Chains A and B, each alone.
Chain A
Amino acid sequence: MASLIGSAVKRKEDPRLLTGNGCFTDDMKLPGMVYASFLRSPHAHAKIARLVVDKASQLPGVIAVFTGQDLADKMTSVPAMWFLPGCDLKPKDRPALAVDKVRYAGEAIAVVVAKDRYIAQDALDLIEVDYEVLPAVVQQEKAMQEGSSLLHDDVPNNLALLWKAGDIPDQVFEEAEVVVKERLYNQRVIPNPMETRGAVAQYNPGGGELTLWCTSQNPHIHRLIYANVLGIPETKLRIIAPDVGGGFGAKIATYTEEAVVACIAREVKKPVKWIEERKEHFMATSHGRDEVLEVELAGTKDGKITALRVTNTANLGAYLSTFGAGCPTIDFGLMVTGAYAIPQAAVVTYGVYTNTTPTDAYRGAGKPEATYQIERAIDLFASKIRMDPVEVRRINFVPKESFPFGNAMGVTYDSGNYQLTLDKALELFDYQAFRNEQEEQRKKGKYLGVGFSTYVELCGFGPSAVAGAIGFQGGVWENSTVRVHPRGTVSVFTGTSPHGQGTATTFAQIVAEKLGIPIEDVELVHGDTQSVSMGWGTYGSRATAVGGAAVSIATDRVIEKARRIAAHELETTLDQVEFINGQFTVKGDLTRCRTFQEIAKSANYAWNLPEGVEPSLEGQSFFDPSNFVYPFGTHICVVEVDEHTGEIEIKRYVAVDDVGRVINPLLAEGQVHGGIAQGVGQALWEGAVYTDQGQLMSGTFMDYTMPKARFFPPIESAFTETLSPVNPLGAKGVGETGTTAAPPAVVNAVMDALQPFGIHNLDMPLTPEKVWRAIRSGRDNG
């Protein structure tokens, strides 16, 4: 039998999803269900002087209207779950509904429950609110300044945290042969998964059980947080994440809306549904990035980097979101040196509250920002010392002999071979031919550019002890139960909660391969706190590296037990039993055998089990990895810039990624494609735009540019496989490679194209007007 692991198996999920037979939160329809709509503040910063809901309450069809005050004794605010130590963190919870004061445009201040969504929406228009508008602070550096308007009275200078790691004497930079210094902006983006958020809650007044269906990447985290928020024991709170239509990190966070829906279902004693409108999504679901990165790199004239220090001024938004404190600090700071053996590094991060939507993890969460600054800095350094950017990378790569490699920030890269992906990418690309063509085209007034990004990421969070040490209020292990039914089919329970990744396929591949059974016989169970005992969810490219590892170990335990039963039935000793392609046979006597299905039946019927073996056939694993995993790779982007309009066309995109063991190349490539589209999206098009008063100007798909398929050439994707030693699969995680690698690859390419105009840095997104203006002033400056 051909190996299933490593095969391009088509997604088991697709027939169901593509024929419209998925079951998403909005598909939940319960008898007697009513609908909730939230009234949201139009102002970014204002006192609520008056809030009267009488007219709304009286509208026929309205069941109830709640304000923050009404909910004060029914639920708490929603806290973050990452309390980073040693940074004077001043966590500010999201209030259930704003009371007294609103802190960002779109913050919910009241909720209407009505017979249908139309009435609920009409009722919102009848709520009377008087606001006393306060000065808003939007940009983080301005918000930190003395005298800026304060969001929270007890947070001076709006400074939520100040985190420092590493220290380099100024002397190092003063005495360096070459120093490059640049201010980069990794702009704010809005996640926009295809499915917006939503929640359906059902309360049983008899027993006090509450079931909440919601769009979650990690239902057990939602249970952990909401149990406290709602004052319901975990035993009575069931969270179900049914089909979830993408998340990109935005559905990690616990929000007030979902908790409020659960709370009011308990109050009105009817099932309540809320589905976030796209318009709301833009304002009320967590945003990503928004970090000002001041990078300073010291090196020698012959291309060796000697030190790096970075200041990150991060915009946390109005409240501290779930992982909000971790993204610009741990996730970012530990990876600032990238794939390079830089002996000294230091990071300072300011986390700042502003009158904007709270920010949180967004596909890559900190690593894309870290990669952006180092990959941009490398190019600036190369340009300054007039060395080829590829050569600078080569010179500074962590050599493959050095793994496991401890970087200057104190984390240990598990395995790697950076030169390998670079070589392979260059082979696919033909660098010299490109440089020749670039030269030719420039003579004709065509401006081509190439950009490189040789990234490394930190993924698959673990071990839990590390999570504890960095203040994460939870574990990062993963759980799997592999349950074999009497006829030999298998249910696999996982604590990861896939939401589009294709995990039902990849995990089935792992199990089917190991058990030698058809992949059709394996079903994945996930996303329900009642069927899965515990788990920490899908994010940080951890599903396969941590969850898949648990599945693999649990499957091994099934085989272990099945082997004992087989040995007993075959009247031989354990060491004489071989398990190949789903058959237990006695060594040297192929006629004496039992199929896996026969053993499944024996185990479950329990008519004749060996002594000391209990009935049933089930394996379980709680896998806590010994380290993170560190996927890496080389992305090469070629662009053409229209010098007259500033328009940028992506001409080629080559991606060679090393994500350890590839379970399914088809799905891995899909992740790479999607990630690149999203990463290029950040580089060229996406970006939240606020006015100085905190009004979101890019609040619809009419003016927030999502990347579209037609913007891209075919992506040339390839993999190398450098296995990870930290899990039995050797897998590393593929989900965030594109968003991490692509932005600097694209920006480096555009800067390369614009080199004749003397332009060395522009901030993302590289909109045509921005590029056109730069070219024009470059011309003016000679």
Chain B
Amino acid sequence: MIPSTFSYVQAQSVREAIQLLQESNGEGKLLAGGHSLVPLLKFRLTTPGTLIDIGSVEELRGVGKEENRIVVGALTSYKQILRDPTVSEHLPVLAEAVRQIGDIQIRNRGTIGGNLAHADPAADIPGVALALEALLEIQGEDGAELVEADGFFLGPLVTALPETSILTSVSFLIPPDGAKSTYLKYAHPASGYAVVGVCAIAATDPDGLISYIRIGINGAGDIAYRARSVEDKLLGHSPTPDRIREAAAMAAEEGEMGSDHFASAEYRKHLCTVYTERALRSILL
């Protein structure tokens, strides 16, 4: 549980961090909250030459509202998100999910950008990011670009983030007025990570038909995914218990189920349907 030798530098700005990443020739690794990285270092599962600490880059911290989106700086800690009035007003489901991450210490130090960039499929943010149609701002040597969360996660711990770029912020779409949402999680009893975590957001029109629906699922699969089959099955329909059950039965269709000694792929698939059904019932019935 002792990391191999690495050098450590502090970046004072995003620009400097990018420069340091470039100079490290692929041996550099960004250190934000450290709650995913440090255990990997201690197990020697990762052996970066240089840790580039972006912990003091203040421009990466904070929450703001821009039109129909809430923008959260990548270095914003879970605790800051939980305490932010803008988040609780416009994105209650993000707060609900963040509240279920780890424990107090982890929420004090862990950051939302670190969570997304690390891309642990069992983390609680990816599914929420998909359901809230998150856009990730990525800055590299050539400037900034916006990337959709859907497509950003390529595999367990693998993302579309280029080696010398930094995830600087993430923006979430504010669901339509009257939308209800929930994040329902089956936590692994050992780690607290999601075996299945379902983020469901839905709204109904004046006729009681489902007019808006987004479902993001993390934990069960190799990567977090949007359960579009479930969404399609429900959109435009009246949310009856039967319709919800039928739709939820398709909750695993877009996912490549993972498997370990705690939960097989078959069981995870089943959990996806049960938890999706429960999440949908809780917001639609």
Interface set of A (CB-CB < 8 Å, partner B): 117-118, 121-122, 125, 277-279, 644-645, 647, 685, 689, 697-698, 701-706, 708, 711, 767-769, 772-773
**CB neighbours of B5 from chain A (8 A):** 118, 122
**CB neighbours of A706 from chain B (8 A):** 190
Distance, CA A704 to CA B260, complexed state (A): 12
Decide: A645 and B261 in contact? CB cutoff 8 A.
Answer: no
Residues of B in contact, count (CB < 8 Å): 20
Distance, CA A703 to CA B262, complexed state (A): 8
Main secondary structure of the interface of B (DSSP, over half): loop
Decide: A772 and B267 in contact? CB cutoff 8 A.
Answer: yes
Question: Which residue of chain B has the shortest Cβ distance to A689 in the bound complex?
Answer: B261
Distance, CA A278 to CA B39, complexed state (A): 12
User: Is B91 engaged at the interface, CB distance under 8 Å to the other chain?
Assistant: no
Interface set of B (CB-CB < 8 Å, partner A): 1-2, 4-5, 43, 186, 188-191, 193, 260-264, 267, 270-271, 274
Question: Which residue of chain A has the shortest Cβ distance to B267 in the bound complex?
Answer: A769
Known: A118-B2, A703-B190. 11 other contacts (CB 8 A): A647-B186, A702-B193, A703-B188, A703-B260, A703-B261, A705-B188, A705-B190, A767-B262, A768-B263, A769-B262, A772-B270
- Set B43, B190, B260: member contacting A685, Cβ < 8 A: B190
Offer 17 A-B interface pairs, CB within 8 angstroms, sorted by A.
Answer: A118-B2, A125-B4, A277-B2, A645-B270, A645-B274, A685-B189, A697-B260, A702-B190, A703-B190, A703-B191, A703-B260, A703-B262, A706-B190, A768-B267, A769-B262, A769-B263, A772-B267
Distance, CA A706 to CA B270, complexed state (A): 25
**CB neighbours of A698 from chain B (8 A):** 261
Question: Which residue of chain B has the shortest Cβ distance to A125 in the bound complex?
Answer: B4
Decide: B1 and A705 in contact? CB cutoff 8 A.
Answer: no
Q: Knowing A701-B191, A703-B260, A769-B262 are in contact, say whether A122-B274 is a contact too (CB < 8 A).
A: no
**CB neighbours of B186 from chain A (8 A):** 645, 647
Question: Which residue of chain B has the shortest Cβ distance to A685 in the bound complex?
Answer: B189
Q: Knowing A121-B2, A645-B186, A706-B190 are in contact, say whether A279-B267 is a contact too (CB < 8 A).
A: no
**CB neighbours of B271 from chain A (8 A):** 645
Distance, CA A118 to CA B44, complexed state (A): 12
- Among A117, A278, A644, A711, the one with the most B-chain Cβ atoms within 10 Å of its Cβ is A644
Q: Knowing A645-B271, A645-B274 are in contact, say whether A701-B2 is a contact too (CB < 8 A).
A: no
**CB neighbours of A117 from chain B (8 A):** 2
Question: Which residue of chain A has the shortest Cβ distance to B260 in the bound complex?
Answer: A703
B236 → chain A closest CB, angstroms: 28
**CB neighbours of A702 from chain B (8 A):** 190-191, 193
- Set B1, B190, B270: member contacting A704, Cβ < 8 A: B190
**CB neighbours of B189 from chain A (8 A):** 685, 705, 708, 711
**CB neighbours of B191 from chain A (8 A):** 701-703
Number of cross-chain contacts by CB at 8 Å: 53
**CB neighbours of A277 from chain B (8 A):** 1-2
Distance, CA A343 to CA B188, complexed state (A): 46
Decide: A279 and B1 in contact? CB cutoff 8 A.
Answer: yes
Decide: A697 and B261 in contact? CB cutoff 8 A.
Answer: yes
- Set A278, A645, A685, A689: member contacting B1, Cβ < 8 A: A278
**CB neighbours of B1 from chain A (8 A):** 277-279
Question: Which residue of chain B has the shortest Cβ distance to A687 in the bound complex?
Answer: B261
Distance, CA A278 to CA B260, complexed state (A): 21
**CB neighbours of A711 from chain B (8 A):** 189
A696 → chain B closest CB, angstroms: 11
B2 → chain A closest CB, angstroms: 4
**CB neighbours of A278 from chain B (8 A):** 1
Distance, CA A685 to CA B192, complexed state (A): 13
Q: Knowing A117-B2, A118-B5 are in contact, say whether A701-B190 is a contact too (CB < 8 A).
A: yes
**CB neighbours of B261 from chain A (8 A):** 689, 697-698, 703
B279 → chain A closest CB, angstroms: 13
Distance, CA A773 to CA B43, complexed state (A): 34
**CB neighbours of A769 from chain B (8 A):** 262-264, 267
**CB neighbours of B260 from chain A (8 A):** 697, 703
Distance, CA A705 to CA B5, complexed state (A): 31
- Among B190, B263, B264, B274, the one with the most A-chain Cβ atoms within 10 Å of its Cβ is B190
- Among B2, B263, B270, the one with the most A-chain Cβ atoms within 10 Å of its Cβ is B2
A203 → chain B closest CB, angstroms: 26
Question: Which residue of chain A has the shortest Cβ distance to B264 in the bound complex?
Answer: A769
**CB neighbours of A704 from chain B (8 A):** 190
Question: Which residue of chain B has the shortest Cβ distance to A703 in the bound complex?
Answer: B190
Q: Which 8 A-B pairs have the closest CB atoms?
A: A705-B190, A277-B1, A121-B2, A769-B267, A705-B189, A702-B191, A689-B261, A644-B274
**CB neighbours of A773 from chain B (8 A):** 267
Question: Which residue of chain B has the shortest Cβ distance to A701 in the bound complex?
Answer: B190
A643 → chain B closest CB, angstroms: 10
Distance, CA A437 to CA B8, complexed state (A): 62
A711 → chain B closest CB, angstroms: 7
Distance, CA A773 to CA B189, complexed state (A): 19
Distance, CA A698 to CA B261, complexed state (A): 8
B71 → chain A closest CB, angstroms: 32
Question: Which residue of chain B has the shortest Cβ distance to A277 in the bound complex?
Answer: B1
**CB neighbours of A122 from chain B (8 A):** 4-5
Distance, CA A711 to CA B43, complexed state (A): 28
Question: Which residue of chain A has the shortest Cβ distance to B47 in the bound complex?
Answer: A125
Distance, CA A644 to CA B277, complexed state (A): 11
A608 → chain B closest CB, angstroms: 63
A76 → chain B closest CB, angstroms: 30
A197 → chain B closest CB, angstroms: 14
Distance, CA A711 to CA B192, complexed state (A): 12
Distance, CA A644 to CA B271, complexed state (A): 8
Distance, CA A697 to CA B261, complexed state (A): 8
Distance, CA A140 to CA B254, complexed state (A): 42
Question: Which residue of chain A has the shortest Cβ distance to B190 in the bound complex?
Answer: A705
**CB neighbours of B270 from chain A (8 A):** 645, 772
Question: Which residue of chain B has the shortest Cβ distance to A706 in the bound complex?
Answer: B190
Distance, CA A698 to CA B274, complexed state (A): 27
B152 → chain A closest CB, angstroms: 24
Distance, CA A685 to CA B43, complexed state (A): 24
**CB neighbours of B188 from chain A (8 A):** 703, 705
Distance, CA A277 to CA B262, complexed state (A): 24
A40 → chain B closest CB, angstroms: 13
- Among B5, B186, B189, B263, the one with the most A-chain Cβ atoms within 10 Å of its Cβ is B189
A332 → chain B closest CB, angstroms: 27
**CB neighbours of A708 from chain B (8 A):** 189
A194 → chain B closest CB, angstroms: 15
**CB neighbours of A647 from chain B (8 A):** 186
Decide: B43 and A279 in contact? CB cutoff 8 A.
Answer: yes
B122 → chain A closest CB, angstroms: 10
**CB neighbours of B43 from chain A (8 A):** 279
Distance, CA A647 to CA B2, complexed state (A): 36
Question: Which residue of chain B has the shortest Cβ distance to A644 in the bound complex?
Answer: B274
A418 → chain B closest CB, angstroms: 34
**CB neighbours of B264 from chain A (8 A):** 769
Distance, CA A13 to CA B249, complexed state (A): 56
**CB neighbours of A772 from chain B (8 A):** 267, 270
Distance, CA A258 to CA B28, complexed state (A): 39
